[in-house]
A and B are shown apart, each in its own frame.
Chain A
Amino acid sequence: MAISKFNYNSFNVTPVAGRALAFDADADGFTTASGSSMILIKTLTASSSATLDFVDGTSDVVLDDTYPVYKFEFINIHAATDQADFNFQVNVAGASGFNETITSTHFGGYHRSGDGASSLGYQSGGHQAQGTSYQRIFADSNNGNTDSSSGHLYLFNPSSTTFVTHFMARTVGRGSDTSNASSTFYYTGGYVNATAAVDEVSFKMSSGDIDAGIIKLYGIADS
């Protein structure tokens, strides 16, 4: 009987879970390879959610030494409450509560929709100096039906027990100024001042729920 389908073990290569089939560096044999270095790990979709939490080992979330860099992407985060801030915090292995020590910078700019004003400046209301509060990454979200914020957050080597854990976020959205909405962006950078492994990340608004929106977690492989 003719072979009509090749199964995974038909190829002259040792199967490795989750990897692609590829030609080797000499193009004269098979090997396994990562199809892409940016691997989707988990998508959380808000639905009047008080928090969206990514916890290593729970609900298929991987947040450990599998990847050296993790990237969260925020897509159309819609606040239930006008002028609420979009924030994050972390928890380290063996501890409880999202209350790790953070030192950070926070700056941004805006341009009002009526072209009335624009600005760039440091935002001390959103930075922390060895604080344990949730870290702001977008301020004053407008909660109109068409409004939201989007962006990304990098978390570098969260499993390290040698180095503090650096993060960098950049967000954009329609900020609320009660009477005059604006295109608003923020840069947030800093570090979790702990040498324990960060294995949980929590996102929430400063008041009210995350009414809607998506947060995706990716791992960025380095091999």
Chain B
Amino acid sequence: MAISKLNFNSLNVTPSASSAIGFDSGADDLETGAGGGSMVFIKKLTASSSGTLSFVDGSSSVVLDNTYKEYVFIFNNLHSSSNTGLFQVNFSVDTGSNYNVVKTSTCIQAYHLEDDSEAALGYAGSYDLAQSANFLTLNFVSGTDNDESTSGVFTLFNPSSTTFVKHFISRVQGTEGSGYSMDFSVAGYGNTTSAIDAVQFKMSTGDIDAGTITLYGIA
């Protein structure tokens, strides 16, 4: 009988879920891997009046373990339902049962008002944490006008390590309701040597009305 289509087990390579098929480094065999690049899409969550958006390893196709040494979350047009809501993050070491990892962090803030009456750069001591398990603020309050939102990039390094504390770097750009352009740069570490296996985002008050958060692994 003629071969009409090759099935998954027709190739001389061990199948690996969701992995691409490519040539190996010697270009003389096949292997599985990320394919043509190193930034691998893992999961997108879309807010719809959401109290929280959570990425839990092993749940809903989320990978947040030792598969990657670096994870990147991209925030795109997160729209707050409340004009007093601060966009925040916390971590879990028990697959989402508790989001309460102790953190120490820094925060620098730049802002500029649309009417040019205010502009400044400074350390934002109100938004840093010192050995606190509270949620960490990643941006000042976001305006609730229809065209206002928050976007940015959050990087979590080696969350599965059981040796090191967990470093993170965040930069978020947003519009504040009074007409400010807000640039928040936050960095710090989760002061735990347990593996972080879940990350949760929320507003300090109100919901994440709309927007997306997308998780990538850096292979």
Count, A-B residue pairs, CB within 8 A? 183
**B62 close to A (CB within 8 Å):** no
CA distance A160 to B149 in the complex (A): 12
Asked if A222 and B212 sit within 8 Å, CB to CB, the answer is yes
**B110 close to A (CB within 8 Å):** yes
Which residues of chain B are near A154, meaning CB under 8 Å? 151, 153
8 A Cβ contacts from A30-82 to B: 30, 33-39, 68-69
CB proximity of A35 to chain B, nearest CB, Å: 3
Which range holds the interface residue count of chain A?
35 or more
8 A Cβ contacts from A78-123 to B: 103-107, 120-122
CB proximity of B215 to chain A, nearest CB, Å: 10
**Residue ID in chain B nearest A130 by CB atoms:** B114
Asked if B35 and A191 sit within 8 Å, CB to CB, the answer is no
**A195 close to B (CB within 8 Å):** yes
Asked if A163 and B149 sit within 8 Å, CB to CB, the answer is yes
Which residues of chain A are near B153, meaning CB under 8 Å? 154, 168
Known: A36-B38, A164-B148. A157 touches B120 (CB 8 A): no
CA distance A69 to B152 in the complex (A): 10
> Which one, B17-25, B81-89, B154-162, is touching chain A?
B17-25
Asked if A163 and B77 sit within 8 Å, CB to CB, the answer is yes
Sample (19) of A-B pairs whose CB atoms are under 8 Å apart? A11-B5, A27-B15, A27-B16, A35-B34, A35-B37, A36-B35, A36-B37, A107-B121, A121-B121, A154-B153, A163-B77, A163-B79, A164-B149, A166-B149, A166-B151, A166-B175, A189-B173, A221-B41, A223-B41
